[in-house]
Amino acid sequence: MENLIDEYLQEAGIPASKQYDEDGDVLYFTEFELESGTFRLTIIISSEYQNVTLLLNAPIKVPPPKRGEIAEYIARANFHCYEGNIMLDFSDGTLAYKSSLRYDPAEDNSHIRYQLNVSLGMAFDEMETHFPGILSVIYNDELPDYAHGNAVLGTRPELN
């Protein structure tokens, strides 16, 4: 799987640093500039669990007083997600989009490239859609349902 991910990143022109954790799992780190800021991407290959995880981390941490409202916003945002989800770590306010891909090392895994591409695109799309709404809850004191509606339907939903 490591070779496949190496090739995917190289072919896609995505520069990433690679490290190994204490369990020997491979970790890739890179950054992407989206409309709302610089998001850090971590790709983790867990050979023990035969899993590839993508984490697209937001450039902010949610302040403690806003974590409950952001959790409500995230519940609304994740309602229609089927490939991944937005997550909030209540202990430190970390906000990320996560998706996971399972693989069988004994099988042909060439499809993982396609799945990585789709998962990465969905991560970008979900964060581009919802991060401005999350920011409006944190900094403009908008209600989660109102901010989510604006993020998904725009300010004039009757036109959608």
CA angle (124 as vertex; 86, 96 as ends), nearest 5: 30
75-98 CB burial, b ≥16 within 10 A, e <16: ebbbeeeeebbbebeeeebebbbb
158 is a domain residue: no
156 is a domain residue: no
Residue 35 CA to residue 37 CA, distance in Å, equals: 6
Instruction: Please answer whether residues 138 and 125 qualify as being in contact, where contact means their C-beta atoms are separated by less than 8 angstroms.
Output: no
155 is a domain residue: no
Looking at residues 135-153, what average pLDDT do you find?
A: 94
88 is a domain residue: yes
| C-alpha dihedral sign at 125, 35, 45, 114 | positive
CATH (domain of 6): 3.30.1460.70
Query: What is the Cβ-side half-sphere exposure of residue 120, based on CA atoms within 13 angstroms?
Result: 21
| Strand order from edge to edge, sheet including 37-46 | 17-20, 26-34, 37-46, 51-61, 94-102, 84-88
Residue-number span of the structural domain to which 108 is assigned: 1-150
Question: For 6-15, what is each residue's pLDDT tens digit?
Answer: 999 999 999 9
65 is a domain residue: yes
Number of domains in the chain: 1
Question: For 23-64, what is each residue's pLDDT tens digit?
Answer: 999 999 999 999 989 999 999 999 899 999 999 999 999 999
79 is a domain residue: yes
Is the pTM higher than 0.95? The answer reads: no
Q: What is the pLDDT of residue 155?
A: 61
157 is a domain residue: no
Q: How many residues does the chain have?
A: 160
H or E element that contains 152? helix 144-153
14 is a domain residue: yes
Q: Which two tokens stand for residue 144?
A: 């989660």
Residue 14 CA to residue 130 CA, distance in Å, equals: 24
